[in-house]
Structure 1
Amino acid sequence: MPISSLKRLMLCLAAPFGLVLAAGAQAQQVEGIAAIVNDQPITTYEVRDRMRFILTTSGIQPTEEVLGQVQEQALRSLVEETLQLQTARRYEVPITEEEVDEAIADIAARNGVTVADIQADLESAGASIDTMRQQLRAEIAWSYLVSGRYRSRIRVSDAQIESALDRLAESASQTQYRVAEILVNLPASGDEADAERRITTIYRALEQGAPFPAVAEQLSDAPTAASGGDAGWLSAAQVRPQVAQVLQQMPVGSISNPIRVPGGYMIVALADRRDGQVTEQFTLQQVTLVTSQVTPERRQALERAASRAQGCSNVQAAFESVPQAIVTDIGTVGANALVPQIRSALSGLQNGQASPVLETAAGLQVFILCERRLGGPGLPGSNEIENQIVNQQLSLLARRWLRDLRNDATVEMVGDF
């Protein structure tokens, strides 16, 4: 969708910023139409209100160059939100005001402020909280729509999870980087100059002190935008080669220059760096017969049940013949977190096997080895990996659906577009 500047809107916004922040009600009386999306108008007041919101929440200084880019972002966002909300109405997906209120309260809590503080900050900048509510309403509706349309179709195989875990385990021995990112995709038209202008404007705003998380949240095209661009701990093997080369040279606490990557441009911030560490990790279930409940008969029953145990899917059933036995899902722990007695008992086991009965301070215990692998700090478990794969696929499908909605829609840019 090629979006050029609205000259009348730009002239107003390029005025001294204090004059830009006029009372919304008065400004709204003289506003025109910026765009029409499937017969639904977006007013120039709404565009300007969203621009104020972006500038306020991102901390970007409103230079003339920045205003042009922010205007395009504001209009692009409003068009997409209109399409999302129109689709929600078509599928009869209800979004209540209480849900929007909860989302605002959550944002306030994460930032250590109150909802009243947020509203006061927006009002002091001449922005209406209505534009924030519109953005959140569309996000909530779109989340429901995407999940309802695609979630049941996504199947993640054990092989996919194993492959992902193996890659992560292999990368755990490499240097790890705590990374935040801003991505600007090339537009559908393939106009690289447009993407280059956007990333340059963003970079200059960061140079002038705009907070990276706030800028990422408002202006990044990456899925991590919702979390302020935070991509977590990554190895060089987990990022694009062009980014890996830059990360290896960056000092901690720095922000990169724009990086050309396939499909767009990126800026990365390096929050921290650590050496790779590889440890043996065990996913375990534990069966305990506390000391006060131990009898010779129960010990024998525990030994028999341990010899029959196969896998972690039926541990409760396998040990139900042992009176007073307590089954606990320990989850995944590193070898260093286990006492030598337990590490030794696990050393010769295959996945799915149970250890011999051990006499510990807790009583008699059996440990069932669900999974053994090499890993490093923060290595996710199988469930987390599955959720990551699902979310990645949902994000890809959501972008494709939104692109299709945009291609099928009748969007008329009014004025100098």
Structure 2
Amino acid sequence: MRHLLSGIAITASLLFGPLAPASAQNPFEPVLYINDKAITRYEVDQRQRFMRLLGAPDIDAKGAEDALVQDRLRMFAAEQMGIETTEEGLQAGLDEFAGRANMNSAEFTAALERAGVEYQVFRDFIRAGVAWRGVIRQRFLPQINVSDAEIDQALKRQIETPIVNRVLLSELIIPAPEGREDEAMRLANSISGSNPNEAQFAEAAGRYSASDSAKAGGRLNWVNIDNLPPSLRPVILNLRPGQTTQPLQVPGAVVLFRLRDSQGSLRPGAREQVLDYMTLRLASASDAVSLAARTRSCDDLYIQAGAGISAQINRQTVSQNAIPALIATRLASLDEDEAAVVDYGNGSADLVMLCSRQPALLADEGADVATSAEAPDGVEAAIPDPSGIPTREAVREELFNRKANEMANAFLQELRADAVIRRP
């Protein structure tokens, strides 16, 4: 999603041509020193232009300075760790970034130069990013571990999160006639960047929008997500209620959407569970109660039951709807490795112990759950359509990257705190 939005912003900005001329001040005058390395006025001006083209229209000189300081710190860390950026790695980075705007690196460079941004600015920006990835790989990746339990929890959250199928939007359509596209984009960025609340967005829509909805503050009725253009769906689905999109350029206009509310439903089978549980028939309820009291886990049950009767323990993993009613009722109130007794009142009782409880969709994705029941056991019927659920490997990669980014950001803050940053 981040790449999609940045691609839209880059392509739109590059179409607008050169930005305003640079300041008449001495362009090569140092404005900042970091660890005794200068950042010049010219570098700040060029970075400011570059960042505006990447979709940050409100970036000021201070923001450009901060971005340059971070790049210097990234390069400093790479140098300290002996990490070098190869020409092949740098070119791959240039090509990858340009690809976000549906260009190759040569086309992207030419577009930047038409907008008054030198190639070296682009190259330095990518070099710092490539070097920083090397720092992350060397310093942090060996420390990062993503457990199966973390993957299970992430998948469970996704399964239990409703799939949005209807949205309540407000729109703001700013006319962008030929020759005034940049003016429309600046206005849209100003509105979006202010993080408007409902009343502020409605006021802006009433003032600037060319749509019929302007009279209603841009408010639209509920719309099915499938009725939206395919290219717009991921943009809207990435919003939380109260958020506004980045400006979206369409022929003759720049558009903003604000999500007021959303409705959704759970995936088919999301409420169905697969239970891994154990039962043991005993001669009396008191025997079952006594054994339950001294058993600490499913594995411990085999030990506490003793060699004489442990072979009679029945452990199975089945769909919730395939479990006998009395046993299912007892299992409903149990936590993992907790036991209860089903007293049949005829001189016999079952000790029932829950080993694990998983959403059926998660169990089908290959969670690390012991299984002994032979198919068909009801699990298939509980999972009519698992489409849309990411693989465990995809979730592992997402969690891994999140941890890496958190550690890298914390390290960058440490580098900044330790650096000597001063003005002339």
TM-score w.r.t. length of structure 2: 0.49
| Structure whose CA Rg is larger | 2
TM-score w.r.t. length of structure 1: 0.50
